[in-house]
Chains A and B, each alone.
Chain A
Amino acid sequence: NAGVTQTPKFRVLKTGQSMTLLCAQDMNHEYMYWYRQDPGMGLRLIHYSVGEGTTAKGEVPDGYNVSRLKKQNFLLGLESAAPSQTSVYFCASTQGADNSPLHFGNGTRLTVT
């Protein structure tokens, strides 16, 4: 049972480059989330989705876009990477509107030089 899978695990970008982080879950979860983790700042919500075809902004959405074309996948895009986007990115999913715990992927460590 894979759970939540994030690809890639590591990536180094140059300022201005673009990339897409992929999150895939095999638990048939409705809700999916993208967080970033920075030292001393905990986990901050970037974007989330309550179902296929829907997305919404979180606390720190600027510089990111997302898409949920299929229920099992939630993509996070950086159109023009900046050094401030150097972070560890976590994807999470959960069943639905019952406050069930988040299931997290193992994270993607992104460095923007």
Chain B
Amino acid sequence: AQKVTQAQTEISVVEKEDVTLDCVYETRDTTYYLFWYKQPPSGELVFLIRRNSFDEQNEISGRYSWNFQKSTSSFNFTITASQVVDSAVYFCALSEGLTSGTYKYIFGTGTRLKVLA
């Protein structure tokens, strides 16, 4: 069965430190998509990135970078030079194809990141 595991429940770092959030997934599909979402203390869910299973190139967006490795079924997220505003809960998600032709999105349990000033 499809599954997303975020083993780190909570991480605390001091501002300007680098931090990596781990995401491990399980799927039977050969074509699938992975996502990261951010949930700041205000509670809304903000989309950060989507990656398909055929694209293993790492992606960088400012201080954020993502490392996708199919060999280890991982899609890890690194924040470089963390800032207090990065404090949030981060969710990794996997899309599962259904026979109806639509997709169901499965979320991990989230990692709470606290960046201390």
B99-117 CB mask vs A (1 if < 8 Å, else 0) is: 0111111111110000000
A106 lies within 8 A of B43 (CB) = yes
Q: Which residue from A45, A101, A107 sits with its C-beta under 8 Å from B35?
A: A101
Interface residues of A in 55-110 (CB under 8 A from B): 56, 58, 88, 90, 92, 94, 96-97, 99-104, 106-107
A101 lies within 8 A of B100 (CB) = no
Give 10 closest A-B pairs by Cβ, nearest first. Answer: A42-B109, A99-B33, A104-B45, A43-B107, A101-B47, A50-B102, A42-B107, A99-B95, A106-B44, A42-B110
Cβ of B50: which chain A residues have Cβ within 8 Å of it? Answer: 99-101
Q: CA A35 – CA B6 in complex, angstroms?
A: 18
Cβ of A90: which chain B residues have Cβ within 8 Å of it? Answer: 45
How many chain B residues touch the partner (CB < 8 A)? 26
Cβ of B58: which chain A residues have Cβ within 8 Å of it? Answer: none
Residues on A close to B: CB < 8 A?
Answer: 31, 33, 35, 40-45, 48, 50, 56, 58, 88, 90, 92, 94, 96-97, 99-104, 106-107
Q: CA A94 – CA B102 in complex, angstroms?
A: 10
Q: CA A34 – CA B63 in complex, angstroms?
A: 32
Cβ of A43: which chain B residues have Cβ within 8 Å of it? Answer: 91, 93, 107
Q: How many A-B residue pairs have CB under 8 A?
A: 59
Q: Shortest CB–CB separation between residue A109 and chain B, in angstroms?
A: 8
Q: CA A81 – CA B52 in complex, angstroms?
A: 39
Q: Shortest CB–CB separation between residue B99 and chain A, in angstroms?
A: 11
Cβ of B73: which chain A residues have Cβ within 8 Å of it? Answer: none
Using CB atoms, name the residue of chain A closest to B102: A50
